[in-house]
Amino acid sequence: MTAPTLEAPSRLTRPAATGTARPRVLLAPITVTPSKPLTPSHLKGLLWTDAMYHATRPLAEVTYRYSHTTYHPTEQTLGFWEFLDRTRGDTDYGDLSEDHIGELYATFRTAAERPPAQALRPYADAVETGWVHPAGTRVLELWSEHYARLGLHEPGLRSHQPPGLGLEEMIGRLTSLTMCLDQREVGGPVYLDLTRYGMPLRQLVTADGRPNYLACALRELMHLAPDFDEIVLLYDTELDPDYQQLARVLGALGPLVRRVTVGRVPIDGRIRSARHGTRPDHGAGALLDAALTGHDAAAVRLGMRLYFIAVLGPGHQQSFRPDLLRQCFTRAERLLAAAPRGPSPDELAHQLARHRKDHLYVDPYRLTTSLLGKRRAAPARDLLAAVSP
């Protein structure tokens, strides 16, 4: 689940050993483009990060950074918005469903034509000042409702949260670290250059000025990295090459960097990207509507976490099974009904710390599976709240 760190594990204990401050942890999960319904794969990543956030807070100062503003400049987002304006004009998106907008996104992704850089430039300039396309605004509104029903920490889905570095500043800092190959003077792209570490060149900015997801992540995280003792990058397995490179850059700025891969959820044995469309009955809204017809909100919130974290695990071997999800709601009801009061804050911290290894963050999988042991005492309410507030 977690790859080796880039620095010596002994640095982990430095903040606690001084007795002067609690260690500082930054959780930086991959963002989901606001252009489609939240799928089981998205839910798995969001619930995994949320459980990590709440369970680690009793042990460290935790910052959960999840900024859509940072990643709007990518071509897949700006290209979709340009596609909507070009093909649908002044459509009112206020009443559209996630499924409808997701169908439009799937159409965009399958279109052969891609807009030129000059068509995207006005959109890129606008998002830097906080503008969001009405279709994106509508999706984020709907997601906010799902977050509330799931009991997820709301990291500012609809807030303007610009990255700390501009694109030129980020390139400049990479250059100062001798990690950049900038060929713009000869009409070429900008590359992240980690070849001395045995990693391939990775393009960050195209020759016509379009940044990719990794460039946006560097704009955000290079600015934040020096303020933390540990950074946890959460992402799906397919992006591991990029995140290895991101971790190498951030590690050079001081913190320990942990990479946590969370596998996608197959549907009927197949892993499909949301760009190809989503089954309406598998979106977050539909799953929550069905769950809340037979179970109370607390059982649904805990049951979702038990299923998507403990049952599915960190890998991607198990297909989504609604019957097992329903069983987890029933199991959650039993856990909540049997939960005694307590424990004390010190005892809670001790119980949570058992689910760490050589890292500061609490492992959501170790924690949630510990709740399901049949021969163990019923977990206390505060321990359940550390998984599902």
Query: Which of 325 and 273 is assigned the larger pLDDT?
Result: 325
Share of the chain above pLDDT 70, in %: 93
- Token pair for 150: 């799931």
Say if residue 16's pLDDT is above 70: no
Q: Would residue 330 count as lying in a domain?
A: yes
Instruction: Give the bridge partners for 259, in sequence order.
Output: 233
pLDDT of 3: 37
Residue 269, domain member (yes or no): no
Q: Find the mean pLDDT for residues 278-299.
A: 90
pLDDT tens for 212-224 read 999 999 999 999 9
Hey, is 271 helix, strand or coil? coil
Q: What is the pLDDT of residue 111?
A: 87
What secondary structure does DSSP assign to 230-249, as a single string?
EEEEEE-GGGHHHHHHHHHH
- Sheet architecture: strand order including 190-192: 180-182, 190-192, 202-205
Q: Which candidate, 256, 363, 267, places its Cα nearest to that of 316?
A: 267
Q: What is the 3-state secondary structure (H, E, C) of 170-204?
A: HHHHHHHCCCEEECHHHCCCEEECCHHHCCCCEEE
On whether residue 361 sits in a domain, the answer given is yes
Q: Given CA atoms 272, 273, 278, 282 in this order, what sign does their dihedral have?
A: positive
pLDDT at residue 5 tops 70: no
Query: Residue 378 above 80 pLDDT?
Result: yes
Element (H, E) at 28: strand 24-29
Domain residues for the domain of 310 are: 274-387
pLDDT tens per residue across span 105-159? 999 999 878 889 999 999 999 999 999 999 999 999 999 999 999 999 999 999 9
- C-alpha 154 chain-centroid distance: 12
Is residue 380 in some structural domain?
Answer: yes
335, part of any domain = yes
Distances (CA, A) of 15 to 28, 230, 254, 362: 20, 10, 13, 17
Alpha-carbon distance 300 to 293, whole Å? 10
- Better-predicted residue by pLDDT, 290 or 19: 290
Per-residue pLDDT band at 4 (split at 50, 70, 90): very low
**Cα–Cα distance list, 69 to 64, 85, 87, 189, 358 (Å):** 15, 20, 24, 23, 33
Tell me what pLDDT residue 6 has: 34
What pLDDT digit, counting tens, does each position of 22-76 carry?
Answer: 999 999 999 999 999 999 999 999 999 999 999 999 999 999 999 999 999 999 9
Q: Using one digit for the tens of pLDDT, what is the confidence trace for 222-268?
A: 999 999 999 999 999 999 999 999 999 999 999 999 999 999 999 98
Is 306 contained in some domain? yes
Given a cut of 70, whether residue 1 has pLDDT beyond it is no
Quick check: is 132 in a domain? no
Cα dihedral sign, 252-250-233-196: negative
Q: How many domains does the chain have?
A: 1
Residue 273, pLDDT > 90, answer: no
| Rounded average pLDDT over 327-355 | 94
pLDDT band of residue 104 (cuts 50, 70, 90) is very high
353 domain-assigned? yes
Q: In the predicted model, is pLDDT for residue 20 greater than 80?
A: no
pLDDT at 281: 79
Contact 384, 303 (CB under 8 A): no
What distance in Å separates the CA atoms of residue 226 and residue 217, rounded to the nearest whole number? 15
Q: What is the pTM of this model?
A: 0.91
Query: Measuring CA to CA, which residue among 365, 376, 378 is closest to residue 55?
Result: 365
- Please calculate the CA angle 80-83-86 and round it to the nearest 5 degrees: 155
Strand partners, 203: 191
Q: What is residue 200's predicted lDDT score, i.e. its pLDDT? A: 97
Please give the residue that has the higher pLDDT: either 342 or 244. 244
pLDDT > 90 in the chain, percent: 85
pLDDT at 277: 56
Determine the pLDDT at residue 114: 83
Mean pLDDT of the chain: 91
